[in-house]
């Protein structure tokens, strides 16, 4: 004798319920992933990987007006990071969370206006 299937269990004949279940599971998985990986952890991984590749860079968040950037993470070789630490001491400002106008730095303004990455071979002007 065959068992009767419950109408609440998704089957091939009820794709709507199966889709709903998959969406709920995906939402739950995404929520757990966001909780497990904090913003600080993402920035730490960024720094680690960029430096390991022998590169340098940063993550800057653009405000809603597209006029100001906030530094959220920087990845530079140790000697530059020690220089940045000295600048922090000297100025009393922190790199993480530092805000500035997009228009103050040509490379950032160009990237924001065009939506394209900008390669800057000598980042001294950007850092200054």
Model pLDDT, residue 65: 92
Q: Does 7 reside within a domain? A: no
Domain count, the chain: 1
Q: Does 63 reside within a domain? A: yes
Residue pair 126/105 in contact by the 8 Å Cβ criterion: yes
Q: Does 94 reside within a domain? A: yes
Q: Does 14 reside within a domain? A: no
* Buried-state track 25-56, b at ≥16 Cβ within 10 A, e below 16: eeeeeeeeeeeeeeeeeebeebbeebbeeeeb
Residue pair 102/112 in contact by the 8 Å Cβ criterion: yes
What 3-state class would DSSP assign to 83?
helix
Residue pair 11/5 in contact by the 8 Å Cβ criterion: yes
Domain interval for residue 82:
39-127
Q: What is the pLDDT of residues 20-65, one digit of tens each?
A: 767 766 776 666 566 666 778 778 888 888 888 888 888 889 999 9
Q: What is the pLDDT of residues 60-117, one digit of tens each?
A: 899 999 999 998 888 887 777 788 888 889 988 888 888 999 999 898 899 899 988 8
Model pLDDT, residue 96: 85
């Amino acid at each position: 004798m065959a068992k009767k299937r419950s109408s609440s269990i998704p089957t091939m004949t009820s794709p709507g319920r199966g889709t709903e279940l998959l969406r709920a599971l995906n939402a739950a998985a995404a929520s757990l992933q966001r909780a497990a990986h904090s913003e600080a952890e993402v920035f730490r991984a960024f720094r680690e990987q960029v430096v390991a590749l022998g590169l340098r860079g940063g993550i800057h968040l653009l405000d809603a007006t597209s006029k100001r950037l906030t530094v959220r993470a920087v990845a530079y070789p140790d000697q530059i990071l020690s220089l940045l630490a000295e600048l922090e001491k000297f100025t009393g400002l922190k790199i993480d969370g530092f805000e500035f106008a997009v228009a103050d730095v040509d490379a950032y303004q160009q990237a924001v206006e065009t939506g394209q990455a900008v390669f800057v071979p000598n980042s001294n002007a950007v850092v200054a």
